[in-house]
C-alpha cells in the first residue's frame, strides 16, 4: 500500500474553494491498478458536529473535486469520505451517513482520545479500506455431504447414480433423475 497524504490536492482545491482551507481536512491517495483511489478525511469533536456538518465535506468534494478535477470515471467511482469522530457515534446516526449514496462511499470511525496524526489515519484507512483481511474458513466436504443426504435426499440419490461424471453430457440425465424423484 502506497498511501500518501496529498497536500498538493488540498492546495489546488483551496485556490477556488475556501472549504478546503479548514483545519482537519486531509486528502489521501493510493494507486490501484491504473487509477488512484482518493479519500478525504475530516475530524469532528462531537456527534452533533458530525450530524450538522457531514454533508459539507460530501458536497464540496462532489462539486470541487469529483466533478471538476477528476477526469477518469474509475477514479470518480472510487472516492471515499472518512469521518473521524472523537465521541462514540450511535449506530442509527452512523447508518444514515453510510447509506447516503451521494458523491462517495462513506466511513464513520470513532477515535476516542487517540492522537489523530498521519500515522493514525493511514493505519485506519489501511485497516478499513485497503488491507481488508478476510479470515480463512475451514471448509468441510463431509459436512456438505451430510447436509445433502439429510436435507436433499433426491440430490444425493442423483449424485450416486451419476457418479463422478461432471460434464454437460450428463446434465439432462441429472435433470431427469431430479424430476422423476419429485413425481
- Give residue for cell 462539486: 63
Domain identity same for 31 and 72 = yes
- Give residue for cell 458523491: 103
Domain tally for the chain? 2
Residue 61 domain-assigned (yes or no): yes
Residue 48 domain-assigned (yes or no): yes
pLDDT of 18 = 92
Residue 135 domain-assigned (yes or no): no
Domain identity same for 149 and 83 = no
Question: Grid coordinates representing 151?
Answer: 436435507
Residue 136 domain-assigned (yes or no): no
- Give residue for cell 489515519: 121
Contacts of 165 (CB under 8 A, 6+ apart): none
| Greater pLDDT, 73 or 179 | 73
Residue 85 domain-assigned (yes or no): yes
Domain identity same for 50 and 84 = yes
Domain identity same for 88 and 150 = no
Domain that holds residue 161: 141-182
Strands 26-32 and 35-44: antiparallel
pLDDT of 168 = 62
Mean pLDDT for 18-27 is 91
Residue 165 has pLDDT above 60, yes or no: no
User: pLDDT tens digits for 32-89?
Assistant: 888 888 899 999 999 999 999 999 999 999 999 888 888 888 888 888 999 999 999 9
The CA-CA-CA angle for residues 49, 107, 76, to 5°, reads 110
d(Cα 143, Cα 86) in Å, to the nearest integer? Answer: 46
Domain identity same for 98 and 164 = no
Domain identity same for 27 and 64 = yes
Amino acid at each position: 500500500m502506497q498511501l500518501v497524504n496529498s497536500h498538493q490536492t488540498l492546495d489546488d482545491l483551496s485556490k477556488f474553494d475556501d472549504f478546503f482551507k479548514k483545519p482537519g481536512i486531509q486528502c489521501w491517495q493510493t494507486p490501484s491498478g491504473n487509477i488512484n483511489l482518493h479519500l478525504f478525511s475530516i475530524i469532528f469533536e462531537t456527534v452533533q458536529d458530525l450530524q450538522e456538518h457531514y454533508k459539507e465535506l460530501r458536497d464540496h468534494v462532489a462539486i470541487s473535486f469529483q466533478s471538476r478535477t477528476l477526469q477518469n470515471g474509475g477514479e470518480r467511482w472510487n472516492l471515499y469520505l472518512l469521518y473521524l469522530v472523537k465521541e462514540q457515534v450511535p449506530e442509527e446516526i452512523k447508518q444514515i451517513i453510510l447509506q447516503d449514496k451521494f458523491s462517495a462511499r462513506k466511513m464513520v470511525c470513532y477515535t476516542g482520545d487517540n492522537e489523530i496524526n498521519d500515522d493514525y489515519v493511514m493505519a485506519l484507512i489501511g485497516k478499513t479500506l485497503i488491507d481488508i483481511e478476510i479470515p480463512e474458513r475451514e471448509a468441510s466436504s463431509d459436512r456438505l455431504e451430510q447436509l445433502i443426504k439429510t436435507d436433499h435426499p433426491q440430490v444425493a440419490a442423483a449424485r450416486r447414480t451419476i457418479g463422478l461424471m461432471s460434464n454437460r453430457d450428463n446434465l439432462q440425465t441429472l435433470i431427469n433423475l431430479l424430476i422423476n424423484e419429485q413425481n
